[in-house]
């Protein structure tokens, strides 16, 4: 490649407050009735006055603290003026010169700023008309802007994934990209590879409203190829906003890109400045801290730890199981079966799951029977011992009669094994499992079979 991508991200996150940013309307992203959670304030009626949602401010400051940002002593809301049908006031209350926080970092990528604003309404396009649902209008929206120092699509994708995990750990947002609770925008330009430092950046193109990690990755990869082809043809890159077509896997031109002066920012006259130094917020354990603690306390493989910490509920549930087991030797076994649940463990108490792991370790059930018990526990939340009894799944340890029967019925495999063919032993153990309807302990069966055959 002749060119080096220079990528920055702008990520919008809907905060999970009970009410909207500047009014008392319910903040419910799952509301399906159009224009239900609305009032004169979020509909932009003349004469209405906004009131700042304190919880939204606290959520932003928690996020800023988790990302090692510098929190401002004074922050100010501004009016961002532009006309679009989903913006009822004709301007958006946002922040410009005095954001809540600046200069943070995640994955060694610098964060320029984090600020608060209100979300717009939602446009529903039909054949010959466009409908507007203002349920989303006024929802607290946190915007995070990185510095343009991301170098690849994979690095951008990982940043988004790790940010989503942090937001969920902080419990400030569900950050579900498919529901629009977290939306990414990519700013990308190409520079010629050069040893010259501080060279001028190429022309920036913005890709709007990407609603999946895959879309972030694929849109960047496509745009690198598109811009490279344009530059190689001695044509100029146009500074513009582009969309992403998920079906065609291409970006497409939407409009020329606005500059900050086009929005005519000025301080919001109806809202006072915020004194953020008086806001106190406490952080819970963050993913990286949990990862380091899990490695130290539970001695688990890194791959298992990475899977566990991606879902805070899963990680917390694992610790609940471990506290019930109180046996470090069973940590890995517990992880193996917990991951088999595929996050569907809501009906199983930590106590029952720990008992289930103990029964497996004691050889009370085979691995195939354990899978049956686990599925039943997921369905009913039942006690594992009771499920084993009801379904008659308990392993048989007294195998003398079954083994003698298999030896008498299979003289040739017996002779083959005595002649040194190891595959014959596996066959005979399989016949024992069949004879006992899967209830035999395979290790016990193998040991007893060898003893009886004298080999």
- The tokens of 73 are what? 């002593």
Q: Compare 227 and 452 and report the one with higher pLDDT.
A: 227
Give the H or E element holding residue 275: strand 274-275
Nearest Cα residue to 106 out of 144, 141, 75, 143: 144
Q: Compare 127 and 293 and report the one with higher pLDDT.
A: 293
Rounded Cα distance, 37 and 123, in Å: 16
Tokens 């193996």 belong to: 336
Q: Compare 6 and 416 and report the one with higher pLDDT.
A: 6
Phi first, then psi, for residue 14 (nearest 5°) are -75, 125
Q: What is the reported pLDDT for 94? A: 97
Rounded Cα distance, 138 and 136, in Å: 6
Q: What is the reported pLDDT for 442? A: 77
pLDDT in tens, 430-451: 898 888 877 777 777 888 888 8
Burial of 339 (0-12, 13-18, 19+ CB in 10 A): middle
Q: Compare 249 and 197 and report the one with higher pLDDT.
A: 249
Q: What angle do CA 66, 67, 69 make, to 5 degrees?
A: 110
Task: Identify the bridge partners of residue 44 per DSSP, sorted by sequence position.
Answer: none
Q: CATH 1.10.10.410 region(s) of the chain?
A: 400-453
Band of pLDDT at residue 244, cut at 50, 70 and 90: very high
* 3-state DSSP assignment of residue 385: helix
| Max Cα–Cα distance, the chain, nearest Å | 97
Report the percent of the chain where pLDDT is more than 90. Answer: 76
Q: pTM higher than 0.95, yes or no?
A: no
Rounded Cα distance, 64 and 56, in Å: 12
CA distances from 174 to 68, 165, 353 (A): 21, 9, 27
Query: 400-453 sits in which CATH class?
Result: mainly alpha
Highest mean pLDDT among 201-205, 361-365, 380-384: 380-384
Rounded Cα distance, 203 and 81, in Å: 25
* 3-state DSSP assignment of residue 197: coil
pLDDT in tens, 65-102: 999 999 999 999 999 998 889 999 999 999 999 999 99
pLDDT at 184 over 80: yes
Give the H or E element holding residue 190: strand 182-192
pLDDT in tens, 272-307: 999 998 887 889 899 999 999 999 999 999 999 999
pLDDT in tens, 387-404: 999 998 888 766 778 888
CB within 8 A of 446, min separation 6: which ones? 425, 429
Q: What is the reported pLDDT for 398? A: 64
């Amino acid at each position: 490649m002749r060119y080096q991508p220079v990528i920055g991200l702008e990520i919008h996150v809907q905060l999970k407050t009970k009410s909207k940013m500047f009014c008392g309307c319910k903040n419910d992203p799952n509301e399906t009735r159009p224009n239900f959670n609305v009032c004169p304030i979020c509909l932009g009626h003349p004469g209405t006055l906004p009131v700042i949602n304190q919880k939204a401010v606290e959520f932003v400051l928690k996020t800023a603290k988790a990302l090692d940002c510098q929190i401002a002593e004074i922050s100010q809301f501004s009016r961002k003026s532009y006309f679009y049908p989903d913006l009822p006031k004709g301007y958006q209350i946002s922040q410009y010169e005095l954001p809540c926080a600046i200069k943070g970092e995640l994955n060694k990528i610098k964060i320029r700023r984090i600020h608060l604003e209100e979300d717009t309404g939602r446009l529903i396009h039909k054949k010959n008309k466009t409908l507007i649902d203002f349920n989303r209008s006024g929802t607290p929206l946190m915007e995070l802007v990185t510095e343009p120092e991301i170098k690849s699509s994979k690095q951008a994708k990982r940043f988004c994934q790790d940010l989503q995990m942090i937001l969920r750990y902080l419990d400030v947002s569900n950050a579900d990209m498919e529901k629009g609770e977290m939306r990414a925008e990519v700013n990308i330009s190409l520079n010629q590879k050069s040893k010259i430092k501080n060279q001028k950046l190429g022309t920036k193109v913005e890709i709007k409203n990407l609603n999946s990690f895959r879309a972030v990755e694929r849109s960047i990869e496509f745009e690198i190829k598109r811009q490279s082809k344009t530059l190689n043809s001695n044509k100029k890159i146009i500074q513009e906003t582009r969309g992403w077509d998920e079906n065609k896997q291409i970006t497409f031109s939407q409009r020329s890109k606005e500059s900050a002066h086009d929005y005519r920012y000025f301080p919001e006259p109806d809202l006072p400045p915020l004194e953020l130094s008086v806001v106190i917020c406490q952080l819970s354990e963050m993913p990286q801290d949990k990862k380091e603690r899990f490695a130290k306390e539970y001695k688990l493989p890194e791959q298992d730890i990475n899977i566990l910490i991606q879902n805070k509920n899963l990680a917390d549930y694992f610790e609940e199981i471990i506290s019930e087991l109180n046996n470090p030797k069973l940590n890995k076994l517990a992880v193996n079966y917990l991951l088999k649940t595929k996050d569907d463990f809501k009906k199983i108490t930590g106590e029952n799951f720990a008992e289930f792991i103990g029964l497996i370790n004691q050889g009370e059930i085979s691995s195939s029977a354990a899978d049956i018990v686990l599925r039943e526990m997921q369905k009913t939340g039942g006690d594992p011992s009771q499920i084993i009894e009801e379904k008659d799944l308990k392993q048989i340890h007294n195998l003398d009669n079954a083994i003698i029967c298999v030896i008498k019925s299979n003289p040739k495999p017996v002779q083959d094994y005595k002649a040194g063919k190891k595959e014959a032993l596996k066959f005979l153990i399989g016949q024992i499992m069949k004879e006992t309807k899967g209830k035999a302990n395979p290790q016990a069966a193998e040991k007893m079979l060898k003893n009886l055959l004298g080999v």
